[in-house]
Structure 1
């Protein structure tokens, strides 16, 4: 598979330095690590690690998610972005 595109991301400089130190100790570069992670995303069809420690929804946000999942909150579909922006009054 040829590498024909670039992925850019802004991260905290300390996080990057700490990660590079660990990765270099494993004998791989940051670019190789990112490629490995992306391949696993495709293979597993999900993030290749648990999201434990991720921020939890507050009670209001959880209630809104639950209501949406239950079909209580109506949704509107638009044929394209132009129609969506028009519904918001953005031309």
Structure 2
């Protein structure tokens, strides 16, 4: 048997119970789910799903910009002058 590490996490008891029930219905354990998540993180070098939260405290425009960047979109600039010119153009919107 290979050496293993243990992972501890603080989880709301109700959430834990619901997750265990759901995982068991799929024939999985919590350990299986965590292992699968970590394998995907390593393989993709990112979270294997889009992380969104209704608790963002950012303005709608900032949230949209963050989502755009996370999806690989966004603007690139060759210089600060080009960036500043684009920002100035954006003020007229």
TM-score by length of 1: 0.58
Q: 2:10, 2:26 → 1: CA distance? A: 23
Gaps of 5+ in 1: 63-91
Q: 1:13, 1:50 → 2: CA distance? A: 25
1:2 lines up with 2:2 in the alignment = yes
- Rate the CA distance shift 1:3–1:25 in 2: closer, same or farther, 3 A: farther
Matches within 5 A, 1:4-83: 4-58=4-58
Q: 1:24, 1:3 → 2: CA distance? A: 25
Q: Deviations over 1:23-57 (max 9, x none)?
A: 00000000011000010000010111111235323
TM-score by length of 2: 0.57
Gaps of 5+ in 2: 63-93
Aligned residues: 60
